Amino acid sequence: MFLQQERRRPVYQLLVAWFVMTVLVFCLPLGLPRIANSRIATTAVVEAITLLAIGLVNRYWVHVSLNFRSPFTFGQQLLMTWPAELLLAFFVFAAILKFPQGIGAEKVAVRVVLGLLVAGLEETVFRGILLGGLLQRLQLRLTRRLWIAVLGSSLLFGLSHVMNLTHQSLPMTLMQIVQAFGLGLVLSALYLRTGSLLWAMLFHFGLDTTVMLVALTPHETNTGVSLSDVMPFVVYLIITAILLRPSRWQRIDFRRLGVH
């Protein structure tokens, strides 16, 4: 009965939750004073407020169940997500090589906290509410429903980066949208294969935090787009194809995700 009630809930509620998140992330910085003259600290506060608001919206209106405990053992989860683990290890190793010297612990701590908040908010919305909600509510065959949920939630994840146009060029923003779309596919695959949002959050946190820490190193501003910028998207597609190949669908616990 519970599953039938979930699937009768309208899909538009999921889009409203996404819209609420987008508006809050864009508008709250306009009304909040700069905390300690730090854009990063202010962004962390915005992410925390938005995460709380989205949690309330989901609990009292949207009602999509969020799964954090996987039905698989830790060892099984490690084995089934190995392509993403290799990619994350590569990013971390590259960040260690480029990590700037003499950076204060406070700057590092703020970026780690921001990485946690961003991963928590975006995975709750895009993989938890949107991906999970579409899987539960679309009245389609399972195969079509799965791919629409994965592609739709990933597309919205990419489009959410349009707001970066406020502080960077159009070519860079378009490239970020494409890369975010590809990353969304990988994160969706991690959630589906493990049945736990924690894996998607961990991967997202590791990726964002390493990028923010490397960005502490002074470098020349590059407003163009090169061929190397396309490579992450290609890698994301390959990892998604490995994780979500049809032969592995039988290992996805769809019922636990609210799908029947």
The pLDDT-based confidence of 36 (bands split at 50, 70, 90) is low
The pLDDT-based confidence of 197 (bands split at 50, 70, 90) is very high
pLDDT in tens, 209-256: 988 887 776 555 555 566 667 889 999 999 999 999 988 888 888 887
Render 46-70 in DSSP notation, one character per residue.
Answer: HHHHHHHHHHHHIIIII------S-
Per-residue model confidence (pLDDT) at position 142: 87
- Across 184-210, average pLDDT: 95
**Tokens 């592995």 belong to which residue?**
248
**Tokens 């990063």 belong to which residue?**
40
Residues of the chain above pLDDT 90, percent: 58
Domain ranges of the chain: 2-251
Per-residue model confidence (pLDDT) at position 91: 86
Q: What does pTM read for this prediction?
A: 0.91
Per-residue model confidence (pLDDT) at position 9: 83
Amino acid at position 46, single letter: V
